[in-house]
């Protein structure tokens, strides 16, 4: 979790994209041809890197559709000389009584949606207060919230768990939602505050002069303008919660009815580390949702990345 | 009403999820509606409505637990007796934990440098080529995968089969060694190199982040600077060294520090790939083992505080560099 001042990167890239249409195709191609390192060597290195980055995932994907006995006796690359494909691994990992990933898939979904909606809503309200409601101590409070980004969540886990246990709530969805919401807030507030500050103050002031209260201004003026910002942070938070292991492990670790996919897969890797027909298919079951979301909304994700930061 | 706490069928879970969201919307809606109705509400009421729930969450979930952890880091395993700095002394002097600290240092130095290096080289190489979008997506994709998923992908690459009879290697890396006429290796068990093979996984994930941010920075270098340098006879590598890298220095600092912080907290990779065995544990993982497996609350707390303290210089450096960059502009 860190802070990057938002303005420089986004503004420059946007300026850059705005500039592009002014160049004709031919001109663009001329620039590309003059290109910075455009030699055969450069393309060669780029291709090697691209292959290095893709092959591990590809290998596991191929493995996940090979029959169990093949996986154990030969490498995935032999698939291309002796192809034999099956969906059995997927059906076993999803519905087999010893794995039942379908249940954990539902758990992941049930955990993720509220853990995205709640912190974004709260952060939007808080960011609005910090940006547009003048009150005493505002700067100080904002700096304090900003500084909380530095706190690694590890520092908070044990005391929180003890609190949840004493309330009798440990191991339920409620504490996972609450914890994820809390951990997301500092970064969310910071990011959304930056986006909100970019909205011309004349818009807000005009509405205020017309007699609109803060609640009306928030819903009628700001929310519609903030949709891209909400999407950016929404994807962040979605990927973060869906892929999280630590929070889930600490608060609901052993509870089959609540634990998400990541916990189950990590467990499988520990107890049945050599059963690659289950591990490969299971990994892809867990990956498919974030991959689809990511590819569909990549533009917003990149924008969020450039505007603020990454959570870690 | 037990299912509100412990739902065990899918419809119950989904209903509970909807209930949670609706409950949240209703509570927040009521607060906001209340504020809106009070035409002449004093500012503090409005502020309390907008900020109150958030501040309550933060105080409960971050601020107070943080203080509690600092407190218990000065106490023994059960959190009863004050033992001063003993936990910290243990963490810094016992051999087991010195290995942990050494590994953490290795991670925090190598991952940011390697990921930034690969990200930058790749960003420059594919910049303004015809395949830029696809090429970038390929490197970027690992960011969508969970650390657990990535660990499994790489564990499979490192898979080792004992050499006997006509057993074939199923891990890609060992098969490559065999094709080259070498002996297969137990990549995840041979110390101390196994740490490097774990680090590769994090580099693989973070390079996409580095590439995206640096690519935007590279595109933002003004064309006239590049043009002038080219007229002065700069090409290829010297252009990269004297124009590209200095121009994107602020972005480089941000990328390196961000990745360093993410790396400090890495836990999933170590847990999934080696379980901290074979001398591969890092502070974030050791914290988990001490707090939740070994039940040594004090030591776990001390490790969490160490993690916290390690983050601070990185952030301080980050903020300082940003201030400098702004002054120059």
Nearest CA-CA partner of A282 in B80, B67, B148: B148
Give pLDDT tens digits for B136-184.
889 988 988 999 999 999 999 999 888 877 788 888 999 999 899 888 8
Contact partners, residue A99, CB within 8 Å, separation at least 6 = A92, A93, A264, A268, A278, A282
Give pLDDT tens digits for B199-247.
999 999 999 999 988 988 888 888 888 888 888 888 778 888 888 888 8
CA atoms within 13 A on the CB side of A283: 33
- What domains sit in chain A, N to C, each tagged with a CATH number? 39-86 (no CATH), 101-307 (1.10.3720.10)
Chain B: nearest CA to A60, how far in angstroms? 6
Give pLDDT tens digits for B264-302.
988 999 999 998 889 899 999 999 999 888 888 889 999
Q: What is the average per-residue pLDDT within A246-255?
A: 87
Band of residue A246 on the pLDDT scale cut at 50, 70, 90: very high
Chain A: nearest CA to B95, how far in angstroms? 23
How far are the Cα atoms of A96, A144, A171 from residue A105, in angstroms, in the given order? 14, 37, 17
With an 8 Å Cβ cutoff, are B125 and A269 in contact?
no
Band of residue A19 on the pLDDT scale cut at 50, 70, 90: very low
With an 8 Å Cβ cutoff, are B219 and A16 in contact?
yes
Nearest to A16 among B16, B143, B220 (CB): B220
With an 8 Å Cβ cutoff, are B237 and A76 in contact?
no
- A63-67's contacts with Cβ under 8 Å and 24+ in sequence apart are A63/A276, A63/A277, A63/A280, A63/B156, A64/A89, A64/A90, A64/A277, A64/A280, A64/A281, A64/A283, A64/A284, A65/A89, A66/A277
Give pLDDT tens digits for B113-143.
999 999 999 998 888 888 888 888 899 889 8
The span from the CA of B204 to the CA of A47, in Å, is 15
- Say yes or no: A157 contacts chain B, CB-CB below 8 A: yes
Q: Which string of DSSP letters, residue by residue, matches B165-216? A: TTPPP-SHHHHHHHHTT-----TTTSTTHHHHHHHHHHHHHHHHHHHHHHHH
pLDDT for residue A8 is more than 50: no
Question: What is the token pair recorded at B221?
Answer: 């270098």
* Portion 281-310 of B in contact with A at CB < 8 A: 284, 287-288, 291-292, 297, 300-301, 304-305, 307-308
Nearest to B62 among A3, A148, A287 (CB): A148
* Portion 190-209 of A in contact with B at CB < 8 A: none
Q: Identify the sign of the CA torsion B19, B21, B22, B26.
A: positive
- What domains sit in chain B, N to C, each tagged with a CATH number? 2-84 (no CATH), 87-328 (1.10.3720.10)
The span from the CA of A252 to the CA of A258, in Å, is 6
pLDDT computed for residue A273 by the predictor: 67
With an 8 Å Cβ cutoff, are A53 and B213 in contact?
no
Chain A: nearest CA to B74, how far in angstroms? 14
Give pLDDT tens digits for A142-153.
988 888 888 889
Q: What is the average per-residue pLDDT within B88-103?
A: 90
Give pLDDT tens digits for A207-229.
888 888 888 888 888 888 888 88
Contacting residues of A for B244, CB less than 8 Å apart: 36
With an 8 Å Cβ cutoff, are B275 and A270 in contact?
yes
Residue of B nearest to A268 (CA): B272
pLDDT computed for residue B19 by the predictor: 92
- Say yes or no: A297 contacts chain B, CB-CB below 8 A: no
Residue of A nearest to B150 (CA): A57
Nearest to B262 among A246, A291, A310 (CB): A310
With an 8 Å Cβ cutoff, are A276 and B170 in contact?
yes
Q: What is the average per-residue pLDDT within A59-72?
A: 90
With an 8 Å Cβ cutoff, are B268 and A266 in contact?
yes
Q: What is the pTM of this model?
A: 0.86
With an 8 Å Cβ cutoff, are A75 and B172 in contact?
yes
Chain A: nearest CA to B61, how far in angstroms? 6
- Say yes or no: A61 contacts chain B, CB-CB below 8 A: no
ipTM of the complex: 0.88
* Portion 73-112 of B in contact with A at CB < 8 A: none
């Amino acid at each position: 979790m860190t802070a990057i001042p938002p303005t420089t990167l986004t503004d420059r890239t946007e300026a850059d994209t705005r500039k592009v249409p002014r160049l004709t195709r031919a001109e663009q191609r001329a620039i590309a041809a003059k290109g910075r390192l455009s030699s055969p060597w450069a393309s060669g290195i780029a291709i090697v890197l691209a292959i290095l980055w893709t092959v591990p995932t590809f290998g596991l994907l191929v493995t996940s559709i090979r029959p169990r006995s093949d996986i154990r006796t030969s490498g995935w690359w032999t698939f291309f000389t002796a192809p034999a494909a099956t969906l059995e691994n997927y059906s076993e990992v999803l519905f087999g009584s010893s794995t039942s990933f379908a249940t954990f898939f539902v758990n992941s979904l049930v955990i993720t949606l509220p853990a995205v909606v709640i912190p974004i809503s709260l952060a939007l309200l808080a960011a609005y207060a910090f940006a547009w409601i003048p009150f005493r101590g505002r700067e100080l409070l904002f700096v304090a919230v900003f500084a909380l980004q530095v706190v690694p969540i590890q520092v908070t886990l044990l005391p929180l768990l003890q609190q949840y246990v004493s309330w009798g709530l440990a191991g339920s969805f409620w504490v996972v939602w609450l914890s994820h919401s809390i951990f997301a807030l500092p970064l969310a507030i910071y990011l959304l505050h930056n986006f909100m500050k970019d909205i011309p103050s004349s818009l807000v002031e005009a509405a205020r002069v017309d007699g609109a209260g803060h609640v009306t201004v928030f819903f009628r003026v700001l929310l519609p303008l903030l949709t891209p910002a909400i999407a950016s942070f929404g994807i962040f938070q979605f990927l973060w919660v869906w892929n999280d292991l630590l929070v889930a492990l600490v608060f609901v670790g052993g509870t089959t009815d609540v634990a998400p996919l990541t916990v189950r897969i990590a467990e499988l890797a520990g107890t049945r580390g050599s059963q690659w027909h289950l591990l490969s298919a299971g990994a892809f079951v867990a990956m498919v949702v974030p991959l689809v979301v990511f590819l569909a909304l990549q533009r917003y994700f990149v924008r969020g990345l450039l505007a603020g930061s990454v959570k870690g | 009403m037990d299912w509100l706490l412990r739902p065990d069928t899918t419809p119950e879970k989904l209903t509970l999820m909807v209930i949670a969201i609706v409950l949240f919307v209703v509570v927040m809606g009521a607060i906001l509606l209340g504020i809106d109705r009070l035409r002449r509400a004093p500012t503090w009421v409005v502020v309390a409505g907008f900020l109150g729930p958030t501040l309550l969450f933060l105080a409960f979930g971050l601020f107070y637990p943080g203080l509690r952890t600092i407190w218990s880091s000065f106490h023994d395993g059960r959190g009863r007796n004050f033992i001063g700095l003993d936990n910290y002394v243990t963490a810094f002097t016992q051999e087991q934990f010195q290995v942990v600290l050494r590994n953490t240092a290795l991670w925090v130095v190598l991952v940011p440098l390697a990921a930034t290096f690969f990200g930058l080289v790749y960003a420059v190489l594919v910049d303004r080529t015809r395949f830029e979008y696809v090429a970038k997506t390929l490197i970027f994709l690992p960011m969508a995968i969970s650390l657990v998923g990535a660990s499994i992908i790489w564990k499979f690459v490192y898979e080792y089969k004992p050499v006997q009879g006509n057993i074939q290697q199923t891990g890609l890396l060992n098969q490559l060694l065999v094709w080259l006429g070498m002996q297969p290796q137990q990549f995840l068990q041979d110390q101390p190199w196994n740490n490097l093979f774990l680090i590769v996984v994090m580099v693989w994930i973070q390079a996409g982040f580095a590439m995206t941010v640096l690519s935007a920075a590279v595109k933002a270098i003004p064309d006239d600077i590049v043009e002038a340098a080219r007229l002065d006879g700069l090409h290829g590598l010297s252009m990269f060294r004297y124009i590209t890298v200095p121009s994107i220095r602020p972005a480089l600092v941000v990328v390196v520090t961000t990745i360093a912080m993410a790396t400090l907290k890495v836990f999933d990779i170590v847990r999934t790939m080696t379980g901290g065995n074979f001398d591969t544990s890092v502070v974030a993982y050791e914290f988990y083992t001490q707090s939740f497996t070994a039940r040594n609350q004090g030591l776990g707390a001390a490790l969490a505080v160490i993690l916290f303290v390690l983050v601070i210089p990185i952030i301080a450096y980050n903020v300082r560099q940003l201030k400098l960059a702004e002054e120059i502009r």
